[in-house]
Structures are given as C-alpha cells and as structure tokens.
Amino acid sequence: MSENKNTEPVDKSTMPFLVHVGVLRKHILRSLLAVCIGAAFIGYNIHFVMDKIIFGPVRNDFISFRMMNAVSRFFGSNKDFIHMPDQFPIQVRRIFEQLNTSFYVAFVGGFIIAFPYVIWEMWKFFAPALKSNEKKNSISFFLVTYFLFIFGCCFGYFFVTPLTMQFGYFFNISEIIKVNIDLSSYIGILLQTVLGMGFVFLIPVIVYILTSIGLLTPKFLKKYRRHALIAVLVIAGFITPGDIPSMLVASAPLYLLYEASILVSAVVYKREQTTAPAKK
C-alpha cells in the first residue's frame, strides 16, 4: 500500500497554488467567524448601539458639538456655533427597514470590532513568504494599520458625519419642504463616511507596501502631487454625501496623508536602496 501511495502522480504545477488557496480559505473563514461574533455582540446590544452611537452625531449633547460650541464661545460668540433639533426627524417607510438596518449595523460593527483579528489572519497568510527582518516588523505594521483604520473611523464619526448631518438638515430651499429623513439614508451616509475614512487612512500603509515591492517611488508621488489634490477631492466626494463642507473637512486629512505617504515612501525607498547591494 505504501508503494502505491508513492507512485501516485502528483501535479507539481498546480499543487502549490491549490495549497495556497486552501490555506487562504481557512484564514478567510476564521476572519468571517470573528466578524460574525462581533456582529452577534452588536446585535445583542442593538438598542444601546443605535441610541448612543449611531444617533450620537445628531444629538445636541454630542461631544463634537460641545467642543465646537465651546470654541465659539471662547472667541466671544453669544450663541452656539452648531445646534441640532431636540428630536431628529428619522422615519421608516418600509415595514422591514428596521430589521434590515439592524443586520447592516451589526455586520459593519462586527467588522470594525474584528478588524485587528482580520489583519492578523491576513498577515499570517503572507508571513511565510517574508524574510526574517520583515517578520520582525510585523507587529509594528499590524499596530500601525489598526491605529490608522480606527483613527480614520473616529475622524469620520466625530467630525465629518456631524457636520454633514447639520448642514444637510438645515440647508433649505423652500419653507414648504418638511424635513423627514429616512432611516436607511441616515445609516447609509453614516457608515459610508465612517468606513470610507477608515480605509482611506490606510493610504500610508498601501504606499509602504507598494514602495517595498518596487512599484512606487517618492519621486513619482512628488511629481504627481498636483494630480493627487484632484484625486483627494474626488475621493472625498465619494466618501461623503458630496456637500462642500463635508468634502472640505474630509479632504484636509486626506491630503495630509498623501504628504505623509511621500515621507513613508522616501524612507522605505532609501532603505531598499541601501540593502540592495547587500542582497546582490
């Protein structure tokens, strides 16, 4: 029986690829399981999440509004710089809209909670192909990626979303129009802004990877700096609902991230150029 096993033909050209696919599937399944656990936790506390977190940016006592109003009073203003209605007019016009929203919010919240584990699983998949010195930097890479993503989500939640909602609610083209905002529209704008800012804040990480593998150079980034400004505005338009105040608020950190990415690319490029002769 052992001889038959040894004489079985093995397709060496496809075996490595199939093995990698199998390993990747295990990492993806474990990541999805972590997201589902996080989603279950959000779903169990859905009332608290909706009342205190999701609808936080439209409350007068939201921390961002209090900070902005405190700054305006510090500079001598007699009235609040930003205010919202006591009861933000959220409505539901479809019978299962609240049920669908709860699943949507739970899944996105579960992804945010499980994001560190998802990064770790993906990193473990690529780790065998890395060199020893690159593996030593894995913890730093992991922490920086998580920090940038969470910082981007927080920026979208605490700054971009409140200003978007305040501008959208009070912008008026006729006194006849009554403002009643659909729950799905509000949730869509909120999560689009929060997740969009979270992923966009990963630009330095992407630049780090592309520079490390030789697909990007600091010279290229500097050359197309003006084009990047236009790209930043376009990306900000996709992340936000498209109103000018929200676009400007979102564009400022995005452009700063681009400038930071140039520095990251320069450091990585210099390191690669220094180690290139040693590799040869």
Is the predicted pLDDT of residue 30 greater than 90, yes or no? Answer: yes
pLDDT computed for residue 38 by the predictor: 95
For the whole model, what pTM was predicted?
Answer: 0.81
Q: What is the mean pLDDT of the chain?
A: 84
DSSP structural state of residue 87: S
Is the predicted pLDDT of residue 13 greater than 50, yes or no? Answer: no
pLDDT computed for residue 74 by the predictor: 82
Closest CA to 34 of 108, 117, 109: 117
pLDDT computed for residue 79 by the predictor: 78
Rounded Cα distance, 270 and 268, in Å: 5
Separation of CA 42 from chain center: 18
pLDDT computed for residue 98 by the predictor: 94
Burial level of 260, CB count in 10 A (0-12/13-18/19+)? middle
In this prediction, residues 9-32 reach a mean pLDDT of: 70
pLDDT computed for residue 109 by the predictor: 94
Cα-based angle 42, 59, 56 (whole degrees, multiple of 5): 20
pLDDT computed for residue 263 by the predictor: 93
* Secondary structure string (H, E, C) spanning 226-268: HHHHHHHHHHHHHHCCCCHHHHHHHHHHHHHHHHHHHHHHHHH
Cα-based angle 199, 91, 249 (whole degrees, multiple of 5): 35
Please say whether the beta carbons of 254 and 204 come within 8 A. Answer: no
pLDDT computed for residue 238 by the predictor: 87
Is the predicted pLDDT of residue 14 greater than 60, yes or no? Answer: no
